[in-house]
């Protein structure tokens, strides 16, 4: 029986233990500005395993661009009950350790292997590749390192670059890899980490830059979407269709609207970018060129009806100027001046009515209202098509009764009634069609 027990004990001693060690990279804290003005992200390197490790030799790479600027937070000295961990750095031992006198505080003594050593050629701080070696010396189990903890912290400098960069860690086999207490390589090394994102540097571009659809004098209200984390915006103007942007209209102001006044005739284009204390976003360029397509409200001979000042006083309603369908030309195929108050058609059977029930409803809803009381679209002036109360002002003029000027009154009703149930020009031929091309 005693012999059998001895055989079992011997088998347990020689049976290999399947071990696993995990190295984890953790972004720590926010991006900060280094003395050289570049942004730095600290990454903490943790370890964990199911057996004690005697030494680590790790290859650590970051995608081309950033560099490892510094390493810190590592233990120095032997492992003991008060301070357990990995503080012996084999690759530096011969250069800095004096056996007769402790020299752990030497600032040149760190766990990065010299770049001239075998397996570490071309690596080192201020490159994107380092080899880190850490070992432990201790006497007695009470002093051995714990099975998990932090090895060190590294500072990654982005050298002014923006974006996301991947960090990778692997065992450096030539320099020993990961070694267990028995002197053998520990199998099953794995790496867990997240990409290094210089989040403080990367702002998303504004979602859009918006112009009113037509604005012939180029007193342009320009809107853009806000960006989370932005503390200001730059808005720049081009007069050569975007080849150059020499004029700054807004400089680092926390606004998302600007009305820019410029001379008529050149083709203007704008671009906007978001900013905060550490970065700028990419530029977002507007898609509408002022004066590339001119409004019939003011240009092309239509200066009298509608009256320019009247149009502006009503909030520059699009429905007075152009077609009620996307893609129409500057003179359009609109029908608003004929009574199409909602800028839409209504189909009954095979007939497409431009002036019908919904137009009467809009006119009734705004009946005998002054300019100040017309129902309005809260986004007036932001997008392309706006069916607001001014669209019920079919003749584009006020009617004075006593001391009150009504924007929607008898003349508007007369024009709507005259064209009641008239058809789109694209509908069936016949005398009941409207010609379109408002205003005329």
pLDDT along the chain (440 residues), means of 10: 38 49 87 77 91 91 86 88 88 66 65 87 90 90 92 87 80 89 81 71 60 48 74 85 87 82 66 76 65 39 46 64 42 72 83 90 89 60 49 87 92 94 69 72
DSSP string, 163-212: SEE-EEEEE-GGGT-EEETTSSBPP-EEEE---EE-TTT-PPPPS-EE--
Cα separations (Å) of 356 from 104, 353, 365, 426?
A: 91, 6, 15, 16
**Rounded-to-integer distance, Cα 207 and Cα 211, Å:** 14
Kindly report the number of other CB atoms within 10 A of residue 283's CB atom. Answer: 16
**Burial of 399: CB neighbours in 10 Å, binned 0-12, 13-18, 19+:** middle
**Rounded-to-integer distance, Cα 89 and Cα 97, Å:** 10
Q: What is the pLDDT of residue 112?
A: 92
Q: What is the largest CA-CA distance in the chain?
A: 123
Do 306 and 272 form a contact (C-beta atoms < 8 A)? Answer: no
> Crossing angle of helices 410-418/357-365, nearest 10°?
180
Look up tokens 């080192």; give the residue: 124
Do 156 and 29 form a contact (C-beta atoms < 8 A)? Answer: no
Do 24 and 46 form a contact (C-beta atoms < 8 A)? Answer: yes
Q: What is the pLDDT of residue 309?
A: 55
Q: Residue 216: is the preceding peptide bond cis (ω within 30°)? A: no
The enclosing H or E element of 58 equals strand 53-62
- Please, which residues bridge with residue 238 across strands? 269
- Answer yes or no: pTM beyond 0.75: no
Look up tokens 């820019």; give the residue: 260
The enclosing H or E element of 30 equals strand 21-33
Token pair of 227 as six digits:
């960006």
Kindly report the number of other CB atoms within 10 A of residue 333's CB atom. Answer: 18
Q: Helices H, strands E: what count in the chain?
A: 5, 22
Please name the residues in contact with 221: beta carbons below 8 A apart, sequence gap of 6 or more: 211, 212, 215, 257, 258, 259, 381, 382
Q: Which domains does the chain have, with CATH numbers?
A: 17-197 (2.60.40.680), 209-285 (2.60.40.10), 308-418 (no CATH)
Look up tokens 């007193």; give the residue: 219
């Amino acid at each position: 029986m005693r012999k059998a027990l001895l055989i079992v004990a011997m088998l347990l001693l020689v049976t290999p233990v399947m071990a696993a060690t995990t190295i984890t990279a953790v972004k720590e804290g926010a991006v900060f500005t280094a003395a050289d003005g570049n942004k730095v992200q600290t990454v903490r390197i943790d370890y964990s395993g199911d057996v004690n490790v005697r030494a680590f030799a790790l290859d650590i790479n970051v995608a081309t661009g950033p560099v490892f600027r510094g390493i810190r937070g590592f233990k120095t000295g032997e492992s003991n009950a008060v301070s357990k961990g990995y503080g012996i750095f084999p690759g530096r031992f011969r250069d800095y350790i004096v056996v007769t006198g402790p020299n752990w505080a030497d600032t040149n003594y760190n766990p990065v292997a010299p770049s001239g050593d075998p397996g570490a050629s071309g690596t080192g701080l201020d490159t994107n590749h380092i080899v880190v070696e850490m070992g432990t010396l201790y006497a007695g189990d009470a002093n051995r390192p714990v099975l998990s903890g932090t090895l060190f912290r590294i500072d990654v400098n982005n050298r002014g670059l923006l974006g996301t960069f991947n960090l990778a860690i692997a065992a450096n086999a030539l320099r020993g890899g990961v070694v267990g207490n028995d002197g053998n390589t520990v199998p099953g090394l794995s790496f867990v980490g997240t990409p290094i994102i210089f989040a403080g540097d990367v702002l998303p571009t504004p979602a859009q830059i918006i112009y009113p659809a037509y604005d012939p004098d180029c007193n342009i209200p320009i809107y853009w979407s806000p960006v989370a984390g932005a503390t200001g915006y730059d808005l720049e103007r081009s007069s050569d269709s975007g080849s150059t942007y020499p004029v700054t209209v807004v400089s680092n102001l926390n606004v998302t609207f600007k009305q820019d006044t410029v001379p008529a005739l050149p083709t203007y284009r704008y671009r906007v970018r978001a900013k905060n204390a550490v970065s700028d976003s990419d530029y977002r360029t507007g898609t509408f060129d002022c004066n590339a397509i001119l409004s019939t409200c003011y240009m092309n001979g239509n200066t009298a009806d509608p009256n320019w000042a009247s149009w502006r006083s009503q909030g520059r309603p699009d429905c007075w100027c152009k077609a009620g369908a996307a893609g129409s030309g500057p003179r359009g195929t609109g029908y608003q001046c004929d009574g199409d108050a909602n800028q839409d058609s209504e189909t009954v059977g095979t007939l497409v009515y431009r002036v019908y029930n919904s137009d009467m409803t809009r006119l009734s809803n705004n009946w005998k209202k002054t300019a100040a009381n017309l129902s309005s679209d809260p986004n007036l002036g932001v997008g392309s098509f706006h069916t607001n109360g001014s669209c019920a002002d079919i003749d584009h003029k006020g009617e004075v009764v006593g001391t009150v000027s009504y924007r929607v009154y008898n003349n508007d009703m007369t024009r709507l009634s005259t064209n009641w149930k008239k058809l789109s020009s694209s509908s069936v031929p016949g005398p009941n069609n409207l010609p379109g091309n408002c205003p005329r």
